Structure 1
């Protein structure tokens, strides 16, 4: 069965995952890259070093973001969001970074003290911390069981 996710199911999927794909477009070029993220209050929070995606988002802040959970080719959930990039600073930047660290580090397979997910403690102050304000979203699923069996790990 194919179907649409409702708003609660979309939020549940966003909250259950930590890796999404960020799509941006600037200067006639489209770029899609996986990023670690945290979802909270209708926004996606992430960080990056300076580079192509940050340059593109600064030039053209309209982006899309995709998250999925796939158990098999016939059992999956997928969400795509559209929104606007905003670079964070001050207290909001600090709070977002702490949220990212609290969400990502417990599931990291890296030893403590080493750089992980682009977070090199020596370069922490140079990280770009950003938020995607979600303006629109949609979700789909496929399942071949009972409706309550659409849960994907």
Structure 2
């Protein structure tokens, strides 16, 4: 059976996952890249080092984000949201980064040895912390009852 996820199911999927795919578009080029994220208050919070993704997001703030949970070919859930990129500064940046660290680091194999974009090597200020303010979204699923 194919179906639509309701708003609560969409939020639950966004809250429970930590890796999604960010799609951006700039100067005739589409770019889709996996990111670690945290969902909170109708926004996707993430961080990145400088590079192509950030350059594109700064040029065109309109983005798409997709997350899924796949059990097998015929049992999955997927959410796609559209929104706008916003770079964070000051206290909001710090709080978002703490939320990302607290959510993602416990899931790493060796959290004390993992380095994400040079955070523990003293280049913390080069990290771009951002959020995607969600404007709209859709969710779908496929599920089949066991006989």
Pairwise same-fold verdict (TM > 0.5): yes
Distance in 1 separating the partners of 2:124 and 2:134: 26
Corresponding residue of 1:124: 124
Distance in 1 separating the partners of 2:51 and 2:12: 31
Gaps of 5+ in 2: none
Distance in 1 separating the partners of 2:7 and 2:111: 37
Say yes or no: does 1:37 pair with 2:59: no
- Contact between 1:74 and 1:143, CA under 8 Å: does it hold in 2? yes
Residues 1-153 of structure 1: matches in 2 within 5 Å? 1-116=1-116, 118-121=117-120, 122-145=122-145
C-alpha distance after superposition, 1:79-115 (max 9, x if no partner) = 0000000000000000000000000001111340441
Gaps of 5+ in 1: 147-153
Three-state SS of the structure 2 residue aligned to 1:112 is helix
Three-state SS of the structure 2 residue aligned to 1:136 is strand
Q: Aligned-residue CA RMSD in angstroms?
A: 1.1
Distance in 2 separating the partners of 1:82 and 1:111: 31
The alpha-carbon deviation at position 119 of structure 1 amounts to: 4.5
Distance in 1 separating the partners of 2:137 and 2:111: 36
Three-state SS of the structure 1 residue aligned to 2:105 is helix
Distance in 2 separating the partners of 1:104 and 1:119: 15
Number of residue-to-residue matches in the alignment: 145
What TM-score results when the alignment is normalised by the length of structure 1?
A: 0.92
After the TM superposition, which segments of 4 or more aligned residues of structure 1 sit over 4 Å from their partners?
none
- Contact between 2:2 and 2:142, CA under 8 Å: does it hold in 1? yes
